[in-house]
Amino acid sequence: MFARRAFATIAALGLLALSALPSRAAELPTVTVYAAASTTDALNEIGGMFAAAGKGKVVGSYAASSTLAKQIENGAPAQLFISADEKWADYLDDKKLLVPGSRVALLGNRMALIAPVDSKIKLDVAPNFALAAALNGGLLSVGDPDHVPVGIYTKAALEKLGVWSSVEFMLARTDSVRAALAFVERGECPLGIVYTTDAAIDPKVRVVSIFPEDSHPPIIYPAALVAGQETPAAREFFEYLQTPAVKDVFRKYGFLVK
């Protein structure tokens, strides 16, 4: 009986000792990234690679760059910001909310006119192309041109191509590029305008035509550390994003990488 009790006591002490040891996962620092919705799939894969290497756990918050910038301004605990355009990085820069000297032009992208995969629409994006007629009474799914980067690029392109005035009252305005993609995927809109990277990941849509590069300002994704939130792990992940292996992942998802 005594031996059995002694064994139980030793076992209990052993369990207590084991429970006091943190798991490897618990030891890993967390890096919180606020990033444009279009980077979701690539960053989820890259975050998994970072964690698998034992460097840290990456938590992504994905939305329109404008929404994320406003959240950061209001104190959201972002450690790294990746915008789909320079405007919202400039916005945070002007408010001294980004770490000085940390900002880099991380990625580039293109824009595509898309339709549901079974759509028969044929249309070449070119000056004065018949976009309104192709909609045939339906709506054009776009990011909101008032604040969502893909929508801002969309408006700039359609203005330059001479068709904005014919469709500006035929828009399904969405709060992110992924929402614009979803409207077309579900067949709620006959056409939409998204980044080529978003079109590439969705088998339920097809690319009708690619926008000429000179029809809109260059699509640049700046990345920067958030002031007051930077940690060694955040800096390490920021540098990790610029390594050759990670650039290959971005290329796999269709991003333009220098």
Position 236, amino acid: E
Q: Domain residues of the chain, as ranges?
A: 9-108+219-252, 111-210
Domain 111-210 has CATH 3.90.550.10: no
Q: What is the CATH number of domain 9-108+219-252?
A: 3.40.190.10
Q: If DSSP codes are grouped into helix, strand and coil, which group holds residue 55?
A: coil
Q: pLDDT for 108-157, tens place per residue?
A: 999 999 999 999 999 999 999 999 999 999 999 999 999 999 999 999 99
Q: Which residues pair with 30 in a beta bridge?
A: 57
Rounded to two decimals, the pTM is 0.85
DSSP assignments along 114-159, one per residue: EEETT--------TT--HHHHHTT--EEEE-TTT-HHHHHHHHHHH
Q: Can you state the percent helix, strand and coil of the chain, rounding each to 5? A: 45, 20, 35
Give residue 26's pLDDT.
56
Give residue 28's pLDDT.
85
Mean pLDDT in order along the chain per 10 residues (258 residues): 39 36 63 97 97 95 96 97 96 97 97 97 97 97 96 97 97 96 97 97 97 96 96 96 97 93
Q: Which residues pair with 221 in a beta bridge?
A: 107
Tokens of 230: 């930077």
Q: If DSSP codes are grouped into helix, strand and coil, which group holds residue 60?
A: strand
For CA atoms 240, 251, 84, 118, the dihedral sign is negative
Determine whether 84 is exposed, middle or buried from the number of CB atoms within 10 Å of its CB (0-12, 13-18, 19+): buried
